Amino acid sequence: MIRWILLLIKHLLLVGLCVWALYVQWAYRVPGSAVFVFLPWIGVGLTTLTLLVLVGQVLRRAPPDDPLRRLIHGIEQADSLLILAFCFYSLFLFTNARMPSGAAVAQASDILAIGGGEPDAGLTNWYGWADLRSWRDPGRRERLLLHAEERRTLWGGQAVLVDLRRGFFNVPWVARVQPDEERRLRAILEVTPTASQVWKDLATLQFRRGRYDEALATALEYLKVYPNDEEFAVRLAGDFYSADRWPNAVPLLEPFLTRKPTFQIYRFLGFAMTRAGRQAEGVALIKKAITLEPDEWWSYYVLAYAYFYNGELREAEPWFEKLLELRPDFPEIEDRLRAIRGQKAGR
């Protein structure tokens, strides 16, 4: 009875280790890994090991030197070694992925084929994979296990981005495979260069990825096709403001000065100019915005800071004071005024 319990514990430990190892192979995927060779054999090994545990109990009364008993024992040992080797390989991959190794690098690729069961098809293969055009050698394929979400959103022939991490032991592993939205948008523009929403989506995508100069270039190309889309220009200029990229807003908004400029153009473009080294022009535009809407507090805010950032504290002070009249409870501006007045008193 005790021998049976020990064998059962051993068997359950091996099964548990194997399940963990399979999870590691799925979570920290190595492109072109030998996991696809291992998986069928691991399944066979676990099945065989289960049968051997049962058969071993039947033969336990046989003499120790019985040929059949020795054969089964040898197969059981080899089977266990196969599973343990797979587990140690997975432990290596786990350490490689979990130890610090730098940020992911996006590699452009294409899905050449997808295999495995459908994710919603019931009793089919429980895992799926994709063959990708290799980013290391375009003539090769990289086979990769797919996560559940990837199986639902990817298809054959699709352009994708592969987020590749270097790995602590310099064994690259894949964190994510996602559709290459930028290539999709550019492909649409090649066919339909006047697709306005596609241009805007492309500029927004580049901005979100921190590629600000490319976002600006895309937006300027769009404005050549649709030069009157002030709403888009102002919105993207506001995004550049949020990213502290004020000079990028100047070429976006400046063309609108030659038409009928609005309050928004005067205000946004004016402050952007002051941050791009065009102080006098920018200040003049902000003052025009104040003339158009004298009760709009944010115009006073940007004008005061235009002077403040340029070191013109005396000129900034009255505009900070006017701002406090419009917004009395503004601790940031109160602190600025105290600092300016303290500096004046110390002279």
Selected residue with higher pLDDT from 74 and 110: 110
Cα 133 from chain centroid (whole Å): 21
Dmax over CA atoms of the chain, in Å, equals: 105
Measured distance CA(92)–CA(85) in Å, rounded: 11
Q: How confident is the model at residue 103 (pLDDT cuts 50, 70, 90)?
A: confident
Selected residue with higher pLDDT from 8 and 174: 174
Selected residue with higher pLDDT from 84 and 289: 289
Question: Backbone phi, then psi, for 327, in 5-degree steps?
Answer: -130, 85
What pLDDT, on a 0 to 100 scale, did the predictor assign at position 120? 53
Q: How confident is the model at residue 136 (pLDDT cuts 50, 70, 90)?
A: confident
Q: Which residue has the tokens 């996006």?
A: 106
Closest CA to 266 of 315, 302, 236: 302
Q: How confident is the model at residue 71 (pLDDT cuts 50, 70, 90)?
A: low
CATH of the structural domain 105-179, one choice from 3.40.50, 2.20.28, 1.10.3470, 2.40.50:
2.40.50
Residue at 163: amino acid letter: D
Q: How confident is the model at residue 137 (pLDDT cuts 50, 70, 90)?
A: confident
Domain ranges (residues) in the chain: 2-98, 105-179, 183-345
Task: Name which of 83-92, 218-227, 253-262, 290-299 the model is least confident about.
Answer: 83-92
Whether 201 and 185 have beta carbons less than 8 Å apart is answered as yes
Report the mean per-residue pLDDT for the chain.
Answer: 85
Selected residue with higher pLDDT from 273 and 22: 273
User: DSSP secondary-structure letter at 248?
Assistant: G
What pLDDT, on a 0 to 100 scale, did the predictor assign at position 219? 98
Superfamily of domain 183-345: Tetratricopeptide repeat domain (1.25.40.10)
pLDDT digits (tens, 9 = 90+) for 272-329: 999 999 999 999 999 999 999 999 999 999 999 999 999 999 999 999 999 999 998 8
Residue 55 clears pLDDT 70, i.e. is over it: no
Provide the percentage of residues in the chain whose pLDDT is more than 70: 80
What pLDDT, on a 0 to 100 scale, did the predictor assign at position 72? 62
Long-range contacts of 311-315 (CB under 8 A, 24+ apart): 313/340, 313/343, 313/344, 314/344
Measured distance CA(256)–CA(250) in Å, rounded: 10
The model's pTM: 0.72
Measured distance CA(250)–CA(271) in Å, rounded: 9
